[in-house]
Structure 1
Amino acid sequence: MSVAAEEPHPLGRIGRISAGTFHQLSALMTLAMLIAIFAFGNAAFLSVNNGLTVLLQTSVIGLIGIGMTMVIITGGIDLSVGSVLALSGTAAGLMVKAGLPVPVAMSAAVLVGAFCGFINGVVITKMRITPFVATLGMMMIARGTALQLTGAAPISQLGEAFGVLGNGALFRHVEKLPNGLSRVVFPGIPYPAILLLIVAICGAYLLRRRALGRHIYATGSNEEAARLSGVNVDATKIAAYVLSGALAGVAGNVLMSRLVTAQPNEGVMYELDAIAAAVIGGASLMGGVGGISGTMIGAFIIGVLRNGLNMSGVSAFIQQIIIGFVVILAVFIDQLRSNRR
C-alpha cells in the first residue's frame, strides 16, 4: 500500500481526529448527564448491584457493536447480527444438549456466527448485492433456521456449566452465615464485562495497529483509491463481516448463558442497538470514520438509558420510541458532520 493511500494529507487527518475526539467527548458528556439525571431521580441507580446490571445489559450490545463498527467503517451495514446471535446461541444449546462439553459447543457457536458473516461478505463482494439487502436476507435465514432447529421452543436444562459465562463473576466473595444461609460480601466483576473489555481492546488494536484495520479504514474512506493502492477490498470487506458474525456468536453465548436457556426468539432488534451504539459513538454511516472507544460509550449510553427508564417505570413501548428518536438524532448529527467534512 502506498504512503499516499495509507496516510492522507496531514491537515485533513488533523481535522478528522479533532472532529472525532470532539464527538466522543460530547458522547461522554451525554453519558455523564444521563447518569446524573437518573441518579437524581432514583438513589438506587448508583448502587453496586444496579451498576453490575448495567454492565451485564451493555455487554451484549457492546460485543455486537464492536463488530458492527468494523462493518460500518467499511461503508457497509449488518442487519443480521440479532438473528445470528440467536442462531449461534441456539446452536450452542443444541450441542450441549447432545452431550458436547460447554467450551466446545460455545466455540462452535462462534464459528457458526463467523460462517454467517462469511456468507454475508461473499454475497456482498462477489454477487454485488448491497449490504442492506444481503444482510436483511441473512437476518431472515438465520432466524428461520434457529426456529426450525428448535421448533420455536426454548432449549432448557443445559446444566450449571452452561450458565457460568453469563452469570459468573471474578473476585466474587460469598460468606456463609451461622444459620446456613449465604451472604454476598462482594458480587464480583461479571465475566461478560471482562469479556467485553478484552474484545474491545483487541478490536481497537486491530483497527489502529494492524494492516487489516488500516485497510478497513481505507476501504470505507475511498474504495477505488484503496483498490488502486493495492488493498484487497473484497477480502477486507469479507473479513469485517466475518468478525461481525463471530462477535454476534460470542454475544449469543453470553446471552443464552445468562438465561441458562437457548432461546431462538432472542436478539430481536439488537442490530438497531448495535448500529445506534456505533453511530452515537462517532462512526459514520458513510464509512471511513469510527472507533471502538466511541462505540463503547454509545453502548453504555443505550444501556444506561434503558436501565434508567426501567427504574423510572417507563414502559418498554415508550422506551422503543425514545431509542428510536436517539437513533434518528445520531444519524442526523452524522450527516451534518459528513457535510461539513
Structure 2
Amino acid sequence: MYGLKKQMNRITGSQALLLIISILVAVIIFSIASPGFLAFSSFTTIIETVAIIMILSFGQTFMLTAGEWDISVGSLLSVPTVVIAVLLQSQFSMLSASIIGFLITVLLCLISAVLTVIVKIPSFIATLGVNGIAMGLSRIIANNNPIKVEDKALLNIFGGQINFGPYMIPVVIMWIAIMFFAAIILMNRTQIGRNIQCVGDNRNAAILYGINVNKTIIITFIINAVFIFFAAMIMVSRSTFATPGEGESYTLSAIVAAIIGGTSIQGGKGSIKGAFLGAFFVGCISYGLFRLSVNAWTGGIIAGIVIIIVLSISSLNQKRKFEMERS
C-alpha cells in the first residue's frame, strides 16, 4: 500500500505532467476561441517565438541547479551580435567573427564566475554588475545604433528554413533540438552534470565527496555562456539586425521558464525537459492571446496570473509530496 501511495504521489506531483496538462488545457481553450490555433504553422510559430527564451532557460537551469543566479543573460545577448556585425562589416569571415563573438561572451561570463568563486560576491550581485558592463559595451561597440547583418551564411544557418515535404521547417527547431539533447546529456549523463547537482544541493557534502566546487561553478558559467551565444545568433538571424539592448527583456522570461519547469531556486534540482515545457507553455499562452487580439498589457496580466497559478499548484504538489514521503 505504501509503495502504491508513493508511486501515485510521484505521478501526481510531477512538474512535467502538470505542465503537459496545462499546455493541453491552453491548447483546447485557444482552439475553441480561435479555430486555426491547431494548425501546424501555429506550432512552428510558437517554437520560433520562444526559441531564444527556451535556449536561455537551458543555461539558467544549469545555473539555478548549481545554486547560482545569472541576471545578465539578456544584456549579454546583444554583445556577440554587435561584435559579429561590426567584424563582418570590417571584412572578417563569418567563422572568425563568430569565434571572437563567442569568446567575448565566455569572457564576460567568466568575469561573473571569478567574482563569485574568488572574490566571494554573490552571483546575483556579480551578474548584476556584468549586466551593466554588457549593456554599456554593446552600446559603445554599435554606437547605440542597430547594425544591419547581411551575411547570408549566418542568416541561413541560424534563421533559414528546411523544405520538409509540404512543410517549411524553421532551422531554429533543429538548433533547439541540438541544444535540448546536448543539455540533457550534459546534465544527466556526465560527471560535470552530477557535480553541478551535488554542488547546488549541498556544498559541504560536495567537498567531502572530493568535488572541486569552485571549478564546477566556473564550468557552469561557461556552459551558460554557450547557450547565451547560440540564443544570440538566433536572435540576430530573426531580426537581421544587431541591436544594442535588444535582448534585455529575456532574462526574467528565461528564469521563469526554468522555475516553472521544476528547477529549484534553492539549487540541487534542475530539469531540462521541464525548462523546455515551461518555455513552450509561456509561448503557447502568449501566442494564443495574440491570436485573440488581446493587447500586450492585458496579455501580460493574464499570462502572469496563469503562471502564478501553475507555480502555486506545483508548490502545493511538492509540499504534499514531501509530507507524504515523511509519513
The corresponding residue for 2:325 is: none
Provide closer, same or farther for how the CA distance between residues 338 and 241 of structure 1 changes in structure 2, counting only shifts above 3 A.
farther
Root-mean-square deviation (CA, aligned residues, Å) is 2.3
Provide closer, same or farther for how the CA distance between residues 126 and 162 of structure 1 changes in structure 2, counting only shifts above 3 A.
same
1:183-202 alignment, distance < 5 Å: 185-187=166-168, 189-202=169-182
Indicate conservation of the 8 Å contact 1:110/1:247, yes or no.
no
1:275-294 alignment, distance < 5 Å: 275-294=255-274
The corresponding residue for 2:79 is: 87
- Letter aligned with residue 78 of structure 1: D
The corresponding residue for 1:299 is: 279
Instruction: Report the CA distance between 1:330 and its aligned residue.
Output: 5.5
Indicate conservation of the 8 Å contact 1:92/1:253, yes or no.
no
1:120-135 alignment, distance < 5 Å: 120-135=112-127
Q: Give a deviation string over 1:265-308, Cα, whole Å, max 9, x none.
A: 21122011111111111101011111111110001011111111
Provide closer, same or farther for how the CA distance between residues 297 and 308 of structure 1 changes in structure 2, counting only shifts above 3 A.
same
Instruction: Report the CA distance between 1:255 and its aligned residue.
Output: 0.6
The corresponding residue for 2:202 is: 222
3-state SS of the aligned residue for 2:30? helix
Alignment of 1:312 with 2:275, yes or no, is no
**Which whole-Å CA distance do the structure 2 matches of 1:20 and 1:202 have between them?**
28
- Aligned equivalent of 1:239, options 197, 219, 222: 219
Unpaired stretches in structure 1, ≥5 consecutive residues: 1-10, 174-184
1:104-119 alignment, distance < 5 Å: 104-119=96-111
1:1-341 alignment, distance < 5 Å: 18=10, 22-171=14-163, 185-187=166-168, 189-326=169-306, 328-329=308-309, 332=312, 336=316, 341=322
Aligned length: 316
**Which whole-Å CA distance do the structure 1 matches of 2:161 and 2:83 have between them?**
24
- Mean CA deviation greater in 139-148 or 313-322: 313-322
**Which whole-Å CA distance do the structure 2 matches of 1:107 and 1:324 have between them?**
38
Instruction: Report the CA distance between 1:29 and its aligned residue.
Output: 0.9
3-state SS of the aligned residue for 2:97? helix
**Which whole-Å CA distance do the structure 1 matches of 2:319 and 2:17 have between them?**
20
Indicate conservation of the 8 Å contact 2:74/2:248, yes or no.
yes
**Which whole-Å CA distance do the structure 1 matches of 2:86 and 2:11 have between them?**
47
Indicate conservation of the 8 Å contact 1:285/1:334, yes or no.
no
Provide closer, same or farther for how the CA distance between residues 84 and 330 of structure 1 changes in structure 2, counting only shifts above 3 A.
farther
Instruction: Report the CA distance between 1:21 and its aligned residue.
Output: 6.8
Instruction: Report the CA distance between 1:326 and its aligned residue.
Output: 4.7
**Which whole-Å CA distance do the structure 2 matches of 1:208 and 1:227 have between them?**
20
Provide closer, same or farther for how the CA distance between residues 227 and 103 of structure 1 changes in structure 2, counting only shifts above 3 A.
same
Instruction: Report the CA distance between 1:39 and its aligned residue.
Output: 1.4
**Which whole-Å CA distance do the structure 2 matches of 1:337 and 1:120 have between them?**
35
The corresponding residue for 1:7 is: none
Q: Which runs of 4+ in 1 moved over 6 A?
A: none
- Mean CA deviation greater in 213-222 or 111-120: 111-120
- Letter aligned with residue 216 of structure 1: I
**Which whole-Å CA distance do the structure 2 matches of 1:219 and 1:37 have between them?**
42
Indicate conservation of the 8 Å contact 2:18/2:314, yes or no.
no
The corresponding residue for 1:177 is: none
**Which whole-Å CA distance do the structure 2 matches of 1:225 and 1:89 have between them?**
40
Instruction: Report the CA distance between 1:25 and its aligned residue.
Output: 0.6
**Which whole-Å CA distance do the structure 2 matches of 1:232 and 1:93 have between them?**
38
Indicate conservation of the 8 Å contact 2:13/2:317, yes or no.
no
- Letter aligned with residue 191 of structure 1: V
- Letter aligned with residue 186 of structure 1: Y
- Mean CA deviation greater in 284-293 or 18-27: 18-27
**Which whole-Å CA distance do the structure 1 matches of 2:270 and 2:10 have between them?**
13
